[in-house]
Chain A
């Protein structure tokens, strides 16, 4: 099952991707084994491309008798994965999601998934929430940490 999770997460980075692709996978499997009228032309090209990327080895494990069980287990395991919440002060485009996801998988582990939330007060940088711990690494926090130094510099500037 871990292999299935790893394959599923290969190009999947965010919780919304997981939710969407789980539904997509279920539709694809059910149509294959339970005679759905869904054809390849009904899929979004990107989604279809992702399904193809899973490979034949991934789909071989599914049969008409275990498909529901495997999908259910896969869903459970995916739900149990810890999610890194990344707070950013701007709206991140889709391309950056892909880049950030790759960075996380390369640097922290292949099962790393994340989701972004917008917090304009951060000014720059990011704040992270991981396993219930919040860490602010933004410019706002840097300003607060260096508050006294900034005040001194400001006073020196004012006093000439």
Chain B
């Protein structure tokens, strides 16, 4: 692990009218690390991640990528820094097929500037097969695909373009057990390849299986950031619900006095 974090969010703020959706939240992420972002619905997690993915402008604070301050005006800017996002809604165009979705917004072109659909199909086949060997109907509209296949397309889109920083917003919320397993395995694999991952999840199992650290938000504030060994599931639930740790809390990985 290097000293400079891949990403550093410093005092990020976001207001909607009078509501402070994100209130001076700071969090960082190193290469080869999974950081869980936890909290209730409406705690500001998705909002914070949207700011990092360039989908939403912030009202204050700074974003540093590899130690350098950056401006993320839109998702293209963020992608330029290797920040890729798997959205909770998957953000797929249902009427298009898998290769079209995979390359949406950065299509491969022929030397005349037209779409190189055949090369895109070939590359899509490769990356989709790696994620799911049973993926054959890639030329059908994604509307007709199963939840797992759609998720695979969304994941493939994020990792195909050499992501350095990956934001996963509830990647397993709509999946069955075997597909959830697949996403978990993939997360571990990507981490071992040195990709930094922000994981938004409600599933305590996933969080404790996959995350190195967690950051808990409540009402737009950061109410705690800990290494995964320092807290128990009950501690995390307490942070999410009450916004604080139990009275008698000590880091769990230190021996009792």
**Chain B binds chain A:** no
Measured CB to CB, the residues of A under 8 A from B are none
Measured CB to CB, the residues of B under 8 A from A are none
